[in-house]
Amino acid sequence: MRPGVLGADELRQAPARQVEELLEGRVAGVQVVRSPDGGVSLRIWGPSSIYGNSEPLYVLDGVPLNVPQGQGLFWLDPSDIHRIDVLKDAAAIAMYGVRGANGVVLITTRHGERTPE
């Protein structure tokens, strides 16, 4: 398991139907939680995760998202992702304040990259 970064090469080799599945077993301190109704959420272990709601802040291409507990990112195609960074310590709080207290999942998409002809 890696400390908190998944690059393009790793993401291409990881078969997944949902974004959260890309992180499962690949990033230390991150757990994918599935609910009986099919919902998916992430738990990033850290100081605040022991106090209740442990849903992290998702940031997609620099834009913070409001993702309801258990909803996950079902609408985002994992093959569109270029890189995922997981912040789970003081860096998350320093960058995003209390919104980052449960950790931050920074997702960078491919932005329609062109392949050389």
pLDDT, block means (10 residues), the chain with 117 residues? 69 75 81 80 66 78 85 83 88 84 90 59
- Give me the DSSP letters along 5-46: EE-HHHHHH---SSHHHHHTTTBTTEEEEE-TTS-EEEEE-S
Q: Is residue 93, in this structure, part of any structural domain at all?
A: yes
Q: Is residue 114, in this structure, part of any structural domain at all?
A: no
Count of domains observed in the chain? 1
**Could you tell me the residue range of the domain that residue 53 belongs to?**
5-109
* 5-20 pLDDT, tens digit each: 777 777 777 777 778 8
Q: What is the pTM of this model?
A: 0.77
Q: Is residue 116, in this structure, part of any structural domain at all?
A: no
- Four-CA torsion 72, 8, 110, 71, nearest 10 degrees: 0
Q: Is residue 115, in this structure, part of any structural domain at all?
A: no
Pairing of strands 104-109, 57-60: parallel
Q: Is residue 117, in this structure, part of any structural domain at all?
A: no
With b for 16 or more beta-carbon neighbours within 10 A and e for fewer, the 17-42 pattern comes to: ebbbbbbeebbebbbbeeeeeeebbb
Amino acid 106: pLDDT: 93
Dmax over CA atoms of the chain, in Å, equals: 53
Query: What one-letter code names the amino acid at 51?
Result: Y
* CATH code: domain of residue 87: 2.170.130.10
